[in-house]
């Protein structure tokens, strides 16, 4: 999978830009705050349906404009596709594949796949559980688009349950209906996340061992409130938990149990990485997880995703830098903020205050 062309209109600080990409390594150069990361943000929007900066669509539109747009042409082994997104300050957006009717997220997720790595991803090790859940969910959605529908329905039912709890006077029959549906969906989510974490560990462990010359071993463990080895057992476990904690949730006007509270732990040499990993080890772990994500995407879909690396080489020592560069030679990679002289023969994209030249 590779991007051929990207068009930006009133997106961030780019008023109007056309960018072409090479199949291999593409280097985006420019001063700080010039707009390099905005290009990656626009690309990743088509993989996730939102910004990796976790901001609202209206914040992506250029200052002083009411609407903006991005369009991308990308190729797979079998065909060439075009995706476009129209953004507006009102919050309404329209995403299309070619000339299709507007698509829901569950209809376009997985069409284009990308792995994003920014310095902020160091919070995968020591950050809040929601960072790790978001990482898992997006990776699974790109390889298994049907999972996005389950996740979307879970979040919708969870919001309905929370709205019911906030009323104070709760209809127990309706609460039971919500709990039963949440238990069913939570079991599907838990099974998928657990399987993915197991596969992720296999791949990431190999990368970390290579990176550390065999000195550091990685272990991942999925942590869920739902017990059981089968989907049905996990569902019954969740339903029992919801019923047992029903009064407790009513007192606090909030749903406190479910798949939205799950997490996975990271250990290095059998010790908690959250507690004991050095900053260098954290970087190595996250690099391993991201490389493993790309490898799993390849094994599950038959094609490598596009790798988007935002200002990470400057954060790495020479050994880690050499390692990651040696692992990205057979796929399309778009890198910002790196030392451009490393890539003398690769595509260069220069950015200056939103103006883009090649």
CATH superfamily of 123-294: RecF/RecN/SMC, N-terminal domain (1.20.1050.90)
E strands within 36-161? Answer: 67-75, 80-88, 93-97, 114-117
Q: Is 264 left (phi over 0), alpha (psi -120 to 50) or beta?
A: beta
Q: What is the pLDDT of residue 141?
A: 94
Q: Would you say the pTM of this structure is higher than 0.85?
A: yes
- Is the pLDDT assigned to residue 34 strictly greater than 90? no
pLDDT of 169 > 60? The answer is yes
The pLDDT score that the predictor gives to residue 28 is: 87
Q: What residue ranges do the domains of the chain occupy?
A: 1-113+303-358, 123-294
Strand arrangement of the beta sheet that strand 263-268 belongs to: 218-223, 263-268, 271-272
Q: 91 in helix, strand or coil?
A: coil
Residue 8 has pLDDT above 60, yes or no: yes
**Phi, psi (5° rounding) for residue 269?**
50, 45
- Residue ranges with strand state E in the chain: 2-11, 14-20, 25-30, 67-75, 80-88, 93-97, 114-117, 218-223, 263-268, 271-272, 306-310, 333-336, 347-352, 355-357
Q: Give the rounded distance of the alpha carbon of 118 from its chain centre.
A: 11
What is the CATH code for 1-113+303-358?
3.40.50.300
Tokens of 254: 């909030």
Q: Which single residue is written with the structure tokens 């462990």?
A: 205
Structure tokens at 72: 């991308």
What is the predicted pLDDT for the residue at 222?
96
Q: Are 45 and 68 in contact (CB under 8 A)?
A: no
Do 123-294 and 1-113+303-358 fall under one CATH topology?
no
Residue 91 has pLDDT above 90, yes or no: no
Greatest Cα pair distance, the chain, in angstroms, is 67
Whether residue 60 has pLDDT greater than 70: yes
Return the bridge partners of 335, or none: 27, 309
Average pLDDT over residues 183-202: 97
Give dist(CA 242, CA 240) in Å, integer. Answer: 6
Give me the pLDDT at residue 132, please.
96
When pLDDT is averaged across residues 20-36 and rounded to a whole number, the result is 84
Q: Round to whole Å and give the CA distance between 93 and 61.
A: 12
β-bridge mates for residue 221, sequence order: 265
**What pLDDT does residue 221 have?**
96
pLDDT of residue 353: 60
| Distance of alpha carbon 8 from the chain centroid | 22
The DSSP output letter for 314 is G
> What pLDDT shows up at residue 179?
97
pLDDT of 318 above 80? no
Instruction: Report the pLDDT value the prediction gives residue 347, as an integer from 0 to 100.
Output: 66
pLDDT confidence tier of residue 217, bands split at 50, 70 and 90: very high
Query: Mean per-residue pLDDT for 81-96?
Result: 90
Region 339-349: mean pLDDT is 61
pLDDT given for residue 267 in this prediction: 96
What's the pLDDT score for residue 53?
Answer: 86
For all residues of the chain together, what is the average pLDDT? 90
pLDDT over 70 percentage in the chain: 95
Q: Distances in Å between the alpha carbon of 156 and those of 13, 94, 147? A: 34, 21, 14
The SS3 of residue 90 is coil
**What does the pLDDT look like over 281-298, one tens digit per residue?**
888 899 999 999 999 999
| 230-286 confidence digits (pLDDT tens) | 999 999 999 999 999 999 999 999 999 999 999 999 999 999 999 999 888 888 899
Per-residue confidence (pLDDT) for residue 209, from 0 to 100: 93
172's CB contacts (< 8 A; 6+ apart) are 246
């Amino acid at each position: 999978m590779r991007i051929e062309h990207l068009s930006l209109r009133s997106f961030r600080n780019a008023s109007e830009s056309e960018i072409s990409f090479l199949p291999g390594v593409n280097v985006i150069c420019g001063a700080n705050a010039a707009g390099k990361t905005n290009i990656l943000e626009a690309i990743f929007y088509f993989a996730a349906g939102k910004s990796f900066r976790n901001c609202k669509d209206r914040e992506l539109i250029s200052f002083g404009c009411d609407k903006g747009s991005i369009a991308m042409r990308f190729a797979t082994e079998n065909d060439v596709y075009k995706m476009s997104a129209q953004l507006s300050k009102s919050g309404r957006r329209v995403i299309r594949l070619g000339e299709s009717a507007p698509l829901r997220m569950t209809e376009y997720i997985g069409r284009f796949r990308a792995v994003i790595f920014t310095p902020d991803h160091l919070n995968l090790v020591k950050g809040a559980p929601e960072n790790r859940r978001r990482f898992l969910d997006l990776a699974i959605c790109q390889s298994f688009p049907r999972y996005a529908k389950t996740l979307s329905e879970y979040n919708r039912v969870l919001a309905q349950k929370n709205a019911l709890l906030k009323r104070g006077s709760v209809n127990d029959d309706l609460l039971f209906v919500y709990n039963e549906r949440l238990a069913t969906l939570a079991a599907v989510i838990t099974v998928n996340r657990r399987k993915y974490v197991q596969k992720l560990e296999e791949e990431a462990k190999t990368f970390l061992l290579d990176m550390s010359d065999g000195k550091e071993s990685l272990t991942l463990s999925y942590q869920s409130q739902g017990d059981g080895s089968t989907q049905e057992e996990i569902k019954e476990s969740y339903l029992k938990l919801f019923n047992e904690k029903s009064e407790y949730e009513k007192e606090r006007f909030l749903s406190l149990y479910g798949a939205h509270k799950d997490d996975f732990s990271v250990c290095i040499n059998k010790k908690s990485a959250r507690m004991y990993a050095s900053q260098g080890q954290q970087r190595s772990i996250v690099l391993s997880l991201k490389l493993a994500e790309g490898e799993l995407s390849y094994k599950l879909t038959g094609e490598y995703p596009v790798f988007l690396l935002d200002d990470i080489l400057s954060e790495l020592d020479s050994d880690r830098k050499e390692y990651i560069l040696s692992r990205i030679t057979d796929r399309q990679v778009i890198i910002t903020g790196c030392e451009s002289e490393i890539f003398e023969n690769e595509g260069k994209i220069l950015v200056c205050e939103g103006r883009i030249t090649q």
